[in-house]
Amino acid sequence: MLFLEIVMVAMAAVRANVLRSVLTTLGIVIGIAAVITMVALGEGAQQQVEEQINRMGTSILTVRPGQQMWGGVSRGDAELSVEDAIALRDDSGGLLTVSPEQQSRLQVTYKRWNSNTQVMGVWPEYFEMYDHALQVGRWFNQGEIQGRRRVVVLGHNVPVDLGETPPELLIGETIQIRGILFEVIGVLEEKGDAAWMRPDDQVFIPQSTAQYRVMGGRDRLNSIYAATETPQQLDMAFAEIDRIMRRSHRLRAGEEADFNIRNSADLLATFNETNQTFALLLAGIAGVSLLVGGIGIMNIMLVSVTERTREIGVRKALGATRRAIMTQFLVEALFLCILGGLIGVAAGYGAAELMTRFAEWQTSVAPEAVATAIGFSAGVGLFFGLWPARRAAALDPIDALRYE
């Protein structure tokens, strides 16, 4: 009963000074907003990683050219060749499904439309590995690889870039890639982005065609992808790829590899490092502004105690105990902080929304994070409100009554 009365008195004091109260809580607001945004970003990034790993395929290893070292001196990037890809496919005893990737960003034109598009030279296995589905038409086949045929499968968004032509009407049409004529044989279903990969905006042609007809005859792959049947086979596949690549590159035992083997999760972790750096920065801001905010609360509470010295004297003369006075001021500090926390949660939620909308970072505000933030701001209120409250409680009623 008494406690409830004291809470109401404390709240009335906050209400009596709305502007000052809101300004006082600003530090807490910023701190909590930063915490919420940070957690939302972290949570969002985590979800994104999981989604992307699923979308990229959980059982795909990527072989990339590495640095070629000779006596501690870099001799530039090593190269991956089609031979390497063939070796991986033929020597792994059926463990691996393999596709090379030789890609370049090139001008693609159809009638009077043109677009700058990523052209991917791959094997038919690539579609199987990444679980691509066709909207219309067909894949290219082994015969077309061997024949270096000029056929192309378009990503889902490409027909839109080419004059919003309906996909069905594009089948059998001729488009130009870097001025070379290609026949459209298929259009893919929508796939969505996966990290740096945007398959919906790409076009796919046979790797041999890419190498000999489009990209100037150089046998230089960007990557080789190797998939296993199940994720459990990845470790085995890793060792197998290492063995085959070393033999193919004629590396001696103990010599450093001139290629990298990565799995999807590793690559995504690198990709998401920026997000984490940003989250860390926000954590710093949150920490500092909660501290500054707490000191602000303490400061204004001390001012409040001084301003209301006489009121404290009256209350004590009328029978308020130390505990009653202390509770009153502690509740006031607590109330200010929780108010700041609530505004901060709303602001953080808004900031996360803005980041999703404009920076296209995935965010997710977890209810536990909100509860933690409110709890934390209450903690700040208790910690920084304690000293002013104790000062108020310790005032001598005679001095307080005489205070001008």
**Contacts to other proteins by CB under 8 A:** 1-2, 5, 12, 16, 310-311, 313-324, 397-398, 401
Minimal distance, residue 333 CB to other proteins, in Å: 19
Minimal distance, residue 310 CB to other proteins, in Å: 7
Write the CA distances from 107 to 118, 139, 141, 352, 357, integer angstroms. Answer: 9, 22, 24, 37, 30
CA distance 184 to 75: 41
Contact 147, 75 (CB under 8 A): no
Q: Are strands 67-70 and 60-65 parallel, antiparallel or unpaired?
A: unpaired
Minimal distance, residue 313 CB to other proteins, in Å: 7
Minimal distance, residue 329 CB to other proteins, in Å: 15
Single out the residue of 374, 284, 388 nearest to residue 330, CA to CA: 388
Rounded to the nearest 5 degrees, what angle is found at the Cα of 175, between the Cα atoms of 111 and 82? Answer: 155
CA distance 358 to 362: 11
* Nearer to other proteins among residue 106 and residue 331 (C-beta): 331
Phi-psi map region of 359: left, alpha, beta (phi>0 left; psi -120 to 50 alpha): alpha
The helix (run of H) or strand (run of E) holding residue 122 is: strand 113-122
Minimal distance, residue 324 CB to other proteins, in Å: 6
Minimal distance, residue 321 CB to other proteins, in Å: 5
Contact 261, 238 (CB under 8 A): yes
Which DSSP symbol is given to 189?
A: P
Which residues, 6 or more positions from 349, have their beta carbon under 8 angstroms from its beta carbon? Answer: 36, 40, 365
- 133 — phi, psi (to 5°)? -120, 150
Minimal distance, residue 300 CB to other proteins, in Å: 18
* Nearer to other proteins among residue 4 and residue 181 (C-beta): 4
Q: Residue 368 corresponds to which tokens in the numbers above?
A: 């536990």
* Nearer to other proteins among residue 241 and residue 326 (C-beta): 326
* Nearer to other proteins among residue 8 and residue 236 (C-beta): 8
CA distance 256 to 233: 24
* Nearer to other proteins among residue 241 and residue 312 (C-beta): 312
* Nearer to other proteins among residue 41 and residue 400 (C-beta): 400
The dihedral sign for the CA sequence 256, 258, 263, 265: positive
Minimal distance, residue 385 CB to other proteins, in Å: 21
* Nearer to other proteins among residue 336 and residue 395 (C-beta): 395
* Nearer to other proteins among residue 262 and residue 322 (C-beta): 322
